């Protein structure tokens, strides 16, 4: 019983403190302040770069306190947690980040989320790239689940120090010219490997595979594992096979360090400078900075991605139905996904805006990233962003992608031949899609 | 601080002279029913946190239950028939049994040997006895993270040591058997000391005079161990084996933390170290979110544990050799 009274005491203390705060907070004149401050929880993964925006929002909304959870976390741990919260009807934040791969699953069960169209979101359509806006809509177009945050425009991040060691050019323009195509990239990789720098040319075949696939699919049919009629086409879509074959060439040439992406080894390899290039969607720049650490500042740079463009990832902010402060949460989500919010996030951690206004903003176009040797990230990522070609994702995209990437990985680790790997990818993807 | 385990039944209270009246009846009711009252909290808690989830899981397993879906159609035993024909499920069963055997057999033998050592006259006996329990009070996740780093392919200490003696680096995660061994080490690190203490407690309940008389008959230490200690420990060994079976077949944290990165729940690209509980999670949560199928895995795991525990008991009964009656006078 002791704990009970204690908790009660704590509750009384909180209420008292709240009342005090409420009476002392004078500026702003926000309505929410009248009911005492509320706490809005924002669930994210990785780096969304919202810290300063929260401060700004809290300053203009004295009745709101914002707490962010999950910063720096792995998407693979975040997604099941969020799904469990939604299924249990309890536990999710007031605003939740949803990665585009998971959004597909959530769109099939939209009853878990507030329909943002009922809360004046329709007026915001012009603030987002068309395809980004449409991704947030359910199939019938009647419910908007999420407002877009970022898109994953593609580049190639590389280590200038390792390139210099291998006698390759280090200037980003010159490096971009080295690899107009993926075959050129492989050739550069072979040159690099021959110099025995002690580092591999790239981190892991799976990330590169996904990059090539999204690029190839975006430039051809516009879909990867599922066609737009939601039929599984892993075995028949030439884009998948083409990406698979190119990845096999990379593996054959011994370019991969085989550090399973997002694993402990992968993180250690970042710290110990064990690979020279990594496929780099805009949001990856923040990840690299986090993992490679301050010691590698100025040793990374950003060049054009081989092939042409492509989009990988990007997220949305949604408000779960279970939130107790839906109206306030929606306001916050609108603020964070506004052009201004997206510019702030980009400057903090690098996620590329999905708002055309933000992409045109000089603050973005002129921005440079000090960590990446002052690379003009605004120019590199933002110029191509408006012409990005999105890739359609079907209902079981996540499960299917997992099977195909693990097939790639089993070849990379020498456990399967490329032919066996392909057979595995197709058959296991079919099984996963049926589950 | 010696651990004592008294297996003798408590001495029955002497029957009191009967006294008529209400007080007597109340006290009779008291003696008759209050024990049930005392154990009721356990059964209440078990009902809420054990039996109910068990039944609910079974109910879920009979449905096509998308974790987020609004509707869950009833499909009878379809999940079970599908599961019995699912090679990935059987693959995880083999992994679990493999890890279970590799970890439990050496672990119980080592625990027995350790208990025997601790049962001797040692200096700072209590310190030693407490020391073997230290790995057990460390958090599983912490142990698993440290071991996962030790067993790293490129930056791990084990491979670094192997390299010094001229053995090529082993990819502990991508090699199925190596992964089993690595995970078994974690399990043994945690549980050997714990089982040793259980054995030690039982050893201390063995009457000293048995050893004395056998010594007079000329039995050495080894003979005493195999002919007196082990047979008399049989009930405890059975207990330890059943507990290890339940724990071993539900193994989750160690293999889960051993794997990291994208889809760690898979236990490697070819599911090298995926246990049944991990397979259950993979299906019930990301990436499949098929709660019904995951629940069916949980129930089959339950059945599997019951079967393996029964086999263990039968084997132990057979192999136990001399029974208690033959030894004690």
Look at B286 and A266 and tell me if their CB atoms are within 8 Å. Answer: no
Residue A344 has pLDDT above 50, yes or no: yes
Look at A76 and B291 and tell me if their CB atoms are within 8 Å. Answer: no
List of long-range contacts for B108-112, beta carbons under 8 Å, 24+ apart = B108/B195, B108/B237, B108/B240, B108/B241, B108/B244, B110/B188, B110/B192, B110/B196, B111/B191, B111/B192, B111/B193, B111/B194, B111/B195, B111/B196, B111/B198, B111/B199, B111/B240, B112/B196, B112/B199, B112/B230, B112/B233, B112/B237
Write down the pLDDT at residue B221.
87
Domain extents in chain A: 13-151+314-365, 154-312+377-434
Q: Is A209 on the interface with B (CB under 8 A)?
A: no
Q: Averaging pLDDT over each range in A179-193, A358-372, B207-221, which range is the top one? A: A179-193
Residue A11 has pLDDT above 80, yes or no: no
Look at A87 and B153 and tell me if their CB atoms are within 8 Å. Answer: no
Place of tokens 């200037």: A171
Mean pLDDT of all residues in chain A? 89
User: What residue in A sits closest to B68 (Cα-Cα)?
Assistant: A87
Q: Is A291 on the interface with B (CB under 8 A)?
A: no
Residue A18 has pLDDT above 90, yes or no: no
Residue B276 has pLDDT above 70, yes or no: yes
What is A154-312+377-434's CATH superfamily?
Periplasmic binding protein-like II (3.40.190.10)
Write down the pLDDT at residue A46.
87
Nearest-Cα distance to chain A for B44, in Å, is 19
Residue bearing the bigger pLDDT, A309 or A66: A66
Residue A21 has pLDDT above 90, yes or no: no
Q: Which residues pair with A278 in a beta bridge?
A: A157
- Which candidate from B261, B266, B288 shows the least CB-CB separation from A263? B261
Look at B154 and A106 and tell me if their CB atoms are within 8 Å. Answer: no
pLDDT 10s digits, B187-244: 999 999 999 999 999 999 999 899 999 999 998 888 998 899 989 998 899 889 989 9
pLDDT 10s digits, A233-254: 999 999 999 999 999 999 999 9
Q: Which residues pair with A275 in a beta bridge?
A: A200
For testing contact with chain B, the best of A101, A256, A397, A415 (most B CBs within 10 A): A415
Write down the pLDDT at residue B14.
54
Nearest-Cα distance to chain B for A275, in Å, is 13
pLDDT 10s digits, A27-77: 333 444 455 789 999 999 988 999 999 999 999 999 999 999 998 888 888
Q: Is A76 on the interface with B (CB under 8 A)?
A: yes
| Confidence band for A22, pLDDT divided at 50, 70 and 90 | very low
Instruction: Return the structure tokens found at B142.
Output: 């912490």
- Which candidate from A111, A259, A402 shows the least CB-CB separation from B287? A402
Residues of A in contact with B67 (CB under 8 A): 83-84, 87
Residue B329 has pLDDT above 60, yes or no: no
pLDDT 10s digits, A145-177: 999 999 999 999 999 999 999 999 999 999 999
| Confidence band for A9, pLDDT divided at 50, 70 and 90 | very low
Dist CA A328 CA A314 (whole Å): 24
Q: CA triplet B285, A49, A378: central angle to 5 degrees?
A: 115
Q: Is B40 on the interface with A (CB under 8 A)?
A: no
Q: CA triplet B219, B220, B224: central angle to 5 degrees?
A: 70
Dist CA A250 CA A247 (whole Å): 5
Look at B262 and A106 and tell me if their CB atoms are within 8 Å. Answer: no
Quote the strand ranges of A101-181, DSSP E.
146-148, 150-151, 154-159
Write down the pLDDT at residue A23.
39
Write down the pLDDT at residue B18.
55
Place of tokens 């142990």: B143
Look at A87 and B68 and tell me if their CB atoms are within 8 Å. Answer: yes
| Cβ-count burial B55-84 (b if 16+ within 10 Å, e if not) | eebeebbbbbbbbbbeebeeeeebbbeebe
According to DSSP, the β-strands at A38-43 and A200-202 are unpaired
> Would you identify the CATH topology of the domain B81-327?
MetI-like fold (1.10.3720)
Instruction: Return the structure tokens found at A347.
Output: 């400057």
Distances (CA, A) of A373 to A124, A160, A268, A369: 36, 9, 22, 7
What's the CATH class of domain A13-151+314-365?
alpha beta
Q: Is B1 on the interface with A (CB under 8 A)?
A: no
Dist CA A211 CA A312 (whole Å): 7
Dist CA B66 CA A141 (whole Å): 23
Q: Is A106 on the interface with B (CB under 8 A)?
A: yes
pLDDT 10s digits, A91-119: 999 999 999 988 988 988 899 999 999 99
């Amino acid at each position: 019983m002791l704990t009970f009274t204690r908790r009660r005491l704590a509750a009384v203390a909180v209420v008292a403190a709240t009342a005090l705060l409420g009476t002392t907070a004078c500026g702003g004149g926000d309505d929410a302040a009248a009911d005492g401050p509320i706490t809005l929880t924002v669930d994210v993964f990785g780096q969304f770069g919202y810290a300063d925006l929260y401060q700004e929002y809290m300053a203009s909304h004295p009745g709101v306190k914002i707490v962010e959870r999950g910063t720096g976390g792995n998407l693979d741990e975040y997604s099941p947690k969020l799904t469990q919260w939604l299924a249990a009807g309890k536990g999710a934040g007031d605003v939740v980040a949803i990665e585009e791969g998971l959004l597909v699953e959530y769109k099939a069960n939209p009853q878990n989320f507030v329909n943002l169209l009922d809360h004046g979101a329709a007026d915001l359509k012009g603030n987002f790239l068309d395809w980004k806006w449409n991704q947030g809509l359910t199939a019938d177009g009647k419910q908007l689940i999420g407002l877009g945050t970022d898109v994953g425009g593609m580049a190639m991040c590389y280590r200038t120090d390792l390139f210099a060691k291998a006698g390759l050019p280090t200037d980003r323009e010159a490096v971009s010219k080295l690899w107009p195509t993926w075959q050129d990239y492989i050739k550069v990789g072979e040159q690099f490997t021959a110099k025995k720098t002690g580092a591999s040319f790239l981190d892991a075949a799976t990330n590169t595979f996904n990059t090539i696939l999204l690029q190839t699919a975006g430039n051809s049919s516009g879909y990867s594992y599922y066609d737009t009629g939601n039929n599984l086409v892993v075995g028949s879509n030439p884009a998948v096979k083409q990406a698979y074959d190119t990845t096999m060439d990379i593996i054959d040439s011994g370019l991969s360090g085989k550090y399973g992406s997002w694993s402990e080894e992968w993180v250690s390899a970042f710290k110990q400078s064990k690979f020279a290039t990594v496929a780099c969607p805009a949001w990856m720049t923040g990840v690299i900075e986090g993992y490679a650490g301050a010691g590698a500042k100025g040793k990374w740079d950003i060049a054009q991605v081989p092939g042409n463009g492509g989009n990988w990832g990007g997220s949305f902010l949604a408000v779960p139905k279970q939130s107790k402060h839906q109206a306030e949460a929606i306001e916050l989500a609108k603020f964070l996904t506004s052009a201004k919010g997206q510019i702030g996030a980009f400057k903090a951690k690098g996620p590329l805006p999905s708002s055309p206004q933000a992409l045109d903003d000089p603050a973005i176009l002129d921005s440079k990233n000090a960590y990446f040797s002052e690379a003009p990230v605004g120019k590199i990522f933002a110029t191509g962003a408006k012409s990005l070609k999105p890739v359609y994702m079907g209902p079981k995209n996540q499960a299917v992608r997992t099977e195909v990437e693990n097939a790639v990985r089993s070849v990379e680790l020498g456990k399967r031949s490329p032919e066996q790997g392909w057979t595995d990818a197709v058959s296991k993807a079919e099984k996963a899609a049926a589950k | 601080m010696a651990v004592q385990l008294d297996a003798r039944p408590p001495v029955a209270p002497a029957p009191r002279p009967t006294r008529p009246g209400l007080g007597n009846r109340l006290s009779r009711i008291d003696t008759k029913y209050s024990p049930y009252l005392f154990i009721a909290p356990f059964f209440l808690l078990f009902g809420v946190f054990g039996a109910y989830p068990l039944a609910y899981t079974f109910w879920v397993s009979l449905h096509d239950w998308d974790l987020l879906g609004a509707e869950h159609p009833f499909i009878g035993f379809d999940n079970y028939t599908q599961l019995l024909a699912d090679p990935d499920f059987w693959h995880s069963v083999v992994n679990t049994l493999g890890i279970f055997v590799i970890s439990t057999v050496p672990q119980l033998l080592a625990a027995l040997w350790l208990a025997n050592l601790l049962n001797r006259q040692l200096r700072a006996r209590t310190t030693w006895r407490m020391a073997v329990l230290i790995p057990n009070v460390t958090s599983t996740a912490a142990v698993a993270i440290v071991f996962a780093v030790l067993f790293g392919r490129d930056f791990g200490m084990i491979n670094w040591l192997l390299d010094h003696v001229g053995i090529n680096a082993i990819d502990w995660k991508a090699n199925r058997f190596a992964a089993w061994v690595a995970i078994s080490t974690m399990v043994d690190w945690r549980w050997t000391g714990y089982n040793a203490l259980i054995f030690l407690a039982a050893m201390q309940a063995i009457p000293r005079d048995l050893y004395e008389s056998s010594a007079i008959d000329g039995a050495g230490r080894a003979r005493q161990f195999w002919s007196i200690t082990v047979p008399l420990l049989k009930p405890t060994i059975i207990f330890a084996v059943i507990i290890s079976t339940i724990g071993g077949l539900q193994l989750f944290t160690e293999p889960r933390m051993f794997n990291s990165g994208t889809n760690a729940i898979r236990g490697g690209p070819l599911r090298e170290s995926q246990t049944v509980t991990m397979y259950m999670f993979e299906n019930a949560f990301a990436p499949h979110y098929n709660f019904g199928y995951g629940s069916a895995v949980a129930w089959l795991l339950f059945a599997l544990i019951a079967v393996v525990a029964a086999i263990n008991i039968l084997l132990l009964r057979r192999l136990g050799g001399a029974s208690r009656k033959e030894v004690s006078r």
